[in-house]
Amino acid sequence: MTVMPAMEPAPARTALRRRYLMCRPEHFAVTYAINPWMDPAAGADAGRAVAQWEALRNAYLALGHEVSLIDPVPGLPDMVFAANGALVVGGRVYGARFAHAERRAEGPAYAAWLRANGFADVLEAEHTNEGEGDFLTLDHVILAGTGFRTEIAAHQEAQEFLGRPVVTLRLVDPRFYHLDTALFPLGGDNVAYYPGAFSPGSRAVLERLFPDAVLADERDAAVLGLNAVCDGRNVVINAEAEGLIGTLRDRGYEPVPVDLSELRKAGGGPKCCTLELRA
């Protein structure tokens, strides 16, 4: 008779209350193409985008998180992607400087909101960076993407301003043009990621830093399943990422599936719509 080894039970996970900033997609549209997901000829439905976004906001509220809102600006259809607007760590704001002219006015709009809402220490970045789209904060380190949007010089600028170690990761697949399309933090000390989005050297760095990471496959990455938001226990994630949702459940997390298919037409998912305000 073969004796099967006992399965380790998944550890209990603890949720921490978060503060998020979001922007209702009232002016959402796909009128230009700055990433491979965007097709202006196919367009997008702003009404449907608003309904899906409302459901995302309600999911955060139901989980007990605080959600602040910034007014959308006409003519800035991508402003719904609040994560790109800044990086806020320890109450300090590293301001975004967008790579594409179409989005450039969003940086000052987010910086103005943050200043008006108690975040006095705002650095206007010298180097191109797209906020939390390319900077993901864990307890002891900030992971920073480069290759498509954010410059390595911005990684150094953010490290100096925030006083946290910043680890550069190189993205190599244009579908995953921001770090938060390919990786998300699972609480403060672990991550989930899609290895195929990274250069060989960056994959080796991730393996060394996170030997216990959750790995996603291309199917889950291709529905922006890695563009997820975890509060330590709950993971707000695109519903189509079925394989990853199952793995997260096996690892003791509580997936909260959402439908953001309309916003994906611009290349965004739950995380893109969510800027975390860390006091």
Ligand X SMILES: CN(C)C(=N)NCCC[C@H](N)C(=O)O
In the complex, which residues of this chain contact ligand X (CB under 6 A)?
34-35, 38, 78, 81, 83-84, 103, 133, 178, 180-181, 227, 266-268, 271-272
Quick check: 11 and 252 in contact, CB under 8 A?
A: yes
Closest CB 252 distance from ligand X, rounded Å: 25
Nearer to ligand X, 13 or 135 (CB): 135
User: Which residues lie below 8 Å from residue 182, measured CB to CB, with a gap of 6+?
Assistant: 145, 171, 173, 176, 193, 194, 197, 198, 221, 226
| Residue closest to ligand X, measured at CB | 272
SS3 193: strand
DSSP-based helix, strand, coil % in the chain, nearest 5 = 30, 20, 50
Sign of the torsion formed by the C-alpha atoms of 99, 148, 130 and 24 = positive
- For strand 214-215 and strand 229-230, is the pairing parallel, antiparallel, or unpaired? unpaired
- For strand 254-258 and strand 166-170, is the pairing parallel, antiparallel, or unpaired? unpaired
Phi, psi of 167 (to 5 degrees): -105, 120
* Catalytic residue chosen out of the listed positions 23, 65, 155, 178: 178
Closest CB 149 distance from ligand X, rounded Å: 7
What single letter denotes the amino acid at residue 228?
A: A
Q: Which two tokens stand for residue 133?
A: 């789209």
Nearer to ligand X, 12 or 101 (CB): 101
Check if 178 is active-site: yes
Nearer to ligand X, 181 or 238 (CB): 181
User: Which residues lie below 8 Å from residue 58, measured CB to CB, with a gap of 6+?
Assistant: none
Closest CB 40 distance from ligand X, rounded Å: 11
Nearer to ligand X, 231 or 276 (CB): 276
Residue with tokens 């403060």: 188
Closest CB 27 distance from ligand X, rounded Å: 13
SS3 78: coil
Nearer to ligand X, 186 or 266 (CB): 266
Closest CB 273 distance from ligand X, rounded Å: 8
Closest CA to 216 of 238, 243, 239, 237: 243
Quick check: 36 and 264 in contact, CB under 8 A?
A: no
Closest CB 220 distance from ligand X, rounded Å: 16
Nearer to ligand X, 96 or 245 (CB): 96
- For strand 86-89 and strand 66-69, is the pairing parallel, antiparallel, or unpaired? unpaired
**Residues with active-site annotation:** 178, 272
